[in-house]
Amino acid sequence: EAQVTQNPRYLITVTGKKLTVTCSQNMNHEYMSWYRQDPGLGLRQIYYSMNVEVTDKGDVPEGYKVSRKEKRNFPLILESPSPNQTSLYFCASISLGSTDTQYFGPGTRLTVL
């Protein structure tokens, strides 16, 4: 089954404690991205990756890092989380050149105290 998986689904942490949210897709997609969703703001793109070792900033990259060492994985790293990063996070992927739509993961709800 084609899918994008994220872990963990829920996370409560404290300010400054480094965390990683994993994202994995099984469709051999080149393009992967991370979004955050906040009430009244819709989904905003944090970072994206066009392929292995190719990443770039989205609209709201401050406070986040990503890496793309393998095609299937695109982890989101918060090295020093702050309360304003409390949000719902979605990972997504798509095959470049495809007329298909982007596949979204189930979401990770992060609370930073």
Partner 1 sequence: AQSVTQPDIHITVSEGASLELRCNYSYGATPYLFWYVQSPGQGLQLLLKYFSGDTLVQGIKGFEAEFKRSQSSFNLRKPSVHWSDAAEYFCAVGARLAGGSYIPTFGRGTSLIVHP
Cα separation, 59 vs 98, in Å, equals 24
Under the binding rule (CB under 8 A), the answer on residue 33 touching partner 1 is yes
Tokens of 47: 């970072």
Q: What are phi and psi of 84, to 5 degrees?
A: -75, 0
Residue 9 or 17: the one with the smaller Cβ distance to partner 1 is 9
Residue 54 or 113: the one with the smaller Cβ distance to partner 1 is 54
Under the binding rule (CB under 8 A), the answer on residue 94 touching partner 1 is yes
**What is the smallest separation between the CB atom of 15 and partner 1, expressed in angstroms?**
26
**7 Cβ neighbours under 8 A, 6+ residues apart:** 21, 22, 108
Q: Write out the residues near partner 1 by the rule CB under 8 A.
A: 31, 33, 40-45, 50, 90, 92, 94-102, 104-107
